[in-house]
Structure 1
Amino acid sequence: MANMRIVLCCLLILRVTSAVPSIIDIKKGIVPFEGCEGTAYPPKEPDTVPTYTINLDDSPFDRWNHIMKDKKTQMHDLIADVRSLMKILMGEKVFNIINSSLPKLAETLPSPFYEEMHSISSATDLPLSEVTLYNIFYEVFTLCTSIVAQDKHGRMYHGRNLDFGLFMGWDLKNHTWRVAELLKPLVIHLDWQRANKTVFQSVNYAGFVGVLTGVKKDKFTFSLDERFGFNGGFVGLLEWILFHDHKQQWVGFFSREVLERAQSYEEAKDLLSKKRLLAPVYFILGGVNAGEGCIITRDRENFNILSLGSRKSGSGSWFLVETNYDHWKNPPFFDDRRTPAIKCMMEGGQEEATEKLLYNVLSTKPVFNKLTTYTSLMQAGDGKINTWLRNCPDPCWPW
């Protein structure tokens, strides 16, 4: 199975390098890290995103109708571009084989996710296969930066950049990734309610039924960062399809279930640590009380927890930083967002551990880059989550 993963990765790399400019071409005009951003906060009001309510008492076939009515055009634009790119990356014959198998894959997904995707397909007039592809894409294609910090009074803050669309259509004229730009109009806040009361809140791309960023008031904050590995999402996906191994958890769907179910930071940490997953991942949690912050490094079976105050790599005594690399390893030279983030957190200091500091750190290049679709700031104590769309001006790192 590991050999199959290597072959798939090699084929993907070959396809990708024929579809986008060389890394040298992309990086023309880019400057190295020159210092910490100090003036990005407060964000501009027009960059905020709209809020919708998801009523969990409604039928799964109806929950998304009002949202997809508003976002139908934007989702069509995104899916059309992704369809074209995937045909280039995979080859049209391979894409058609995979695409034709996705409706059957959707039928094997747990409830209510299959029903919700079916309703999104109906509301948008998109094939169920393409709605399914859109929903499972995040198992293997997401980059991110997450920060949890504690101020001198023990108040917890959680911030994150969601970066998406690497190698997915570089626009030479505008110096942007096409898929990242098409995702931005789909970014929304969701207020998940039951009996007219908020259960939790999240930031989603409209039509994506899992959760990558969320907060549960008086309980915990949550973000998810991709973790690379040979035994990754492609292998889990093949096991699901070929061997009918349906006991593993889809990461985005499982995250939503934890936000619905868990009633404390400790319960969320326990649930996220022990379930068998379809893909490796980093779960980042913040709590309500001082000291409640951790990075849960997951492969599909096992876990490692780095807690606030450990003073290990990727952390200080009062903050944690996670990008997309294990905290016990150095990040690669071509994608080191961790070092600037840590440097800027230390430069700001715990005395200034506020939303302002986190937003400015998340606005420091290359932590902030051409893939960054949104920045969110969360606080569990008051259940607050604020999100802003991002556009990184040149000169800016491509990732």
Structure 2
Amino acid sequence: MCLSLYDTQEGCDCFYMNHVALQLITMVRTIKDMAKGFFNGKLVNLVDEELPLIVDTLPQPFNEEIKGIAAVSGIPLGEITLFNIFYEVFTVCTSVVAEDFNEKLKPLLVNVNFQRGHKTVFKSTNLAGYVGILTGIRPGEFSLTVNERFSVDGGYVGILEWILGWRDGMWMGFLTRKVLENATSYEDAKNQLSQTELLAPAYFILGGNGTGQGCVITRTRINTLDIWELDMKLGRWYVLETNYDHWEKPMIFDDRRTPAMKCMNKATQANISLASIYDVLSTKPVLNKLTTYTSLMDVSAGTLESYIRDCPNPCTPW
């Protein structure tokens, strides 16, 4: 699937929406049902009353794209807006998300080539109806993925500030798309991801095509706490992120880091390949009931391969 950059009008993303409208409706309603459990249900009132008004305050072209998706799908504008800012809404909660939620995401997965002048600028694995980017690659330059970082100072604070008119921060998915569209190098992307104020905390996993180009950027809403980079002198030929700060001990109930590191070390740097990385990501509990898809990216070759995943029992819930 190809989408044109900067040639967009209201409804630009809609040509594929008819095929997934029912799945999108189900997914959006699930997110709205989850929202009922927060702040005594007041978050749902926010969705119905305030989020349609927020759309016009969002940066171009995202606001017009969201309006177009709502128009074609028939889903209320506030609910489509919630789907596009769900990262900021739910970073205050724990990482325990219902398995059913993930199953509803899978039918929405699409591979998209974003083009300018009929040439591919970047590729992504995306959710139909979501105008931001969670996973993407700019061929020959860098790859970028996002991991959720949970914090009591979650995205709801950023949303509240936005509603009140304090709009210095960027919505996470909009920033990643902006970086993939416009950053011209690994260093440029790293600077933008580490220096731009956000509405919610996040981990950015960035890869390049040169020696030592690879890092995990640990972000608060305002600052960068850490940039953990490849360092061959220290024997650090890979960096691995599993939804908690790498300098902290793994959580007892969610230690995906240790088995993943064992698999990487067993594979060895000399034998690493897309196939061996896929094997690592297919090892339980790295693969679990919350795994929606696995993406493999080769920056130099410009390839992006994504696979919808199922974890057969016995399988950990997260």
TM-score range, shorter chain: over 0.9
Identify which of 122, 129, 134 aligns with 1:207: 129
Q: Is the 8 A contact 2:212 2:232 kept in 1?
A: no
Matched, 1:227 2:176: no
Q: State how far apart, in whole Å, the 2-side matches of 1:310 and 1:139 are.
A: 35
Q: Is the 8 A contact 1:166 1:371 kept in 2?
A: no
Per the alignment, in what secondary structure is the counterpart of residue 200 of structure 2? Answer: coil
1:373 — aligned with what?
292
Identify which of 38, 44, 54 aligns with 1:95: 44
1:135 — aligned with what?
84
2:73 — aligned with what?
124
Q: Is the 8 A contact 1:139 1:252 kept in 2?
A: no
Matched, 1:297 2:218: yes
Superposed CA offset, 1:264-297 (max 9, x none): 1111111111111111111111111121111111
Q: State how far apart, in whole Å, the 1-side matches of 2:89 and 2:30 are.
A: 18
> How far off its partner does 1:168 sit?
4.5
Q: State how far apart, in whole Å, the 1-side matches of 2:220 and 2:207 are.
A: 21
Q: State how far apart, in whole Å, the 1-side matches of 2:38 and 2:221 are.
A: 26
Q: Which structure has the bigger radius of gyration? A: 1
Q: Is the 8 A contact 2:11 2:71 kept in 1?
A: no
Alignment of 1:1-399 (within 5 A): 52-89=1-38, 91-92=40-41, 94-141=43-90, 167-169=96-98, 177-242=99-164, 244-303=165-224, 304-309=226-231, 317-399=236-318
Q: State how far apart, in whole Å, the 2-side matches of 1:286 and 1:259 are.
A: 12
CA 1:88 to 1:295, structure 2 compared with 1: closer, same or farther past 3 Å? Answer: closer
1:64 maps to amino acid: D
Q: State how far apart, in whole Å, the 2-side matches of 1:392 and 1:59 are.
A: 38
CA 1:73 to 1:329, structure 2 compared with 1: closer, same or farther past 3 Å? Answer: same
2:72 maps to amino acid: A
Q: State how far apart, in whole Å, the 1-side matches of 2:48 and 2:261 are.
A: 42
TM-score, structure 2 normalization? 0.94
Q: Which runs of 5+ in 1 are unaligned?
A: 1-51, 143-164, 170-176
Q: State how far apart, in whole Å, the 1-side matches of 2:152 and 2:28 are.
A: 27
> How far off its partner does 1:58 sit?
2.7
Bigger shift: 217-226 or 73-82? 73-82
Give the percent of matched residue pairs that are identical in Structure 1 and Structure 2: 46
1:158 — aligned with what?
none
Q: Which runs of 5+ in 2 are unaligned?
A: none
Bigger shift: 87-96 or 298-307? 87-96
TM-score, structure 1 normalization? 0.75
CA 1:64 to 1:88, structure 2 compared with 1: closer, same or farther past 3 Å? Answer: same
Q: State how far apart, in whole Å, the 2-side matches of 1:123 and 1:129 are.
A: 14
1:234 maps to amino acid: Y
The number of residue pairs the alignment matches comes to 315
Superposed CA offset, 1:137-164 (max 9, x none): 023547xxxxxxxxxxxxxxxxxxxxxx
Q: State how far apart, in whole Å, the 2-side matches of 1:103 and 1:350 are.
A: 50
> How far off its partner does 1:89 sit?
5.0
> How far off its partner does 1:376 sit?
0.3
CA 1:194 to 1:94, structure 2 compared with 1: closer, same or farther past 3 Å? Answer: closer
Per the alignment, in what secondary structure is the counterpart of residue 8 of structure 2? Answer: coil
Q: Is the 8 A contact 1:141 1:166 kept in 2?
A: no
CA 1:62 to 1:356, structure 2 compared with 1: closer, same or farther past 3 Å? Answer: same
Q: Is the 8 A contact 2:11 2:72 kept in 1?
A: no
Higher relative contact order (CA 8 A, sep 6+): 1
Q: State how far apart, in whole Å, the 1-side matches of 2:11 and 2:295 are.
A: 28
Q: State how far apart, in whole Å, the 2-side matches of 1:293 and 1:68 are.
A: 35
Q: Is the 8 A contact 1:99 1:129 kept in 2?
A: yes
Q: State how far apart, in whole Å, the 2-side matches of 1:351 and 1:360 are.
A: 16
Q: State how far apart, in whole Å, the 2-side matches of 1:138 and 1:274 are.
A: 19
**RMSD across aligned positions (CA):** 1.8
Q: State how far apart, in whole Å, the 1-side matches of 2:233 and 2:241 are.
A: 14
Q: Is the 8 A contact 1:212 1:255 kept in 2?
A: yes
Q: State how far apart, in whole Å, the 1-side matches of 2:253 and 2:233 are.
A: 25
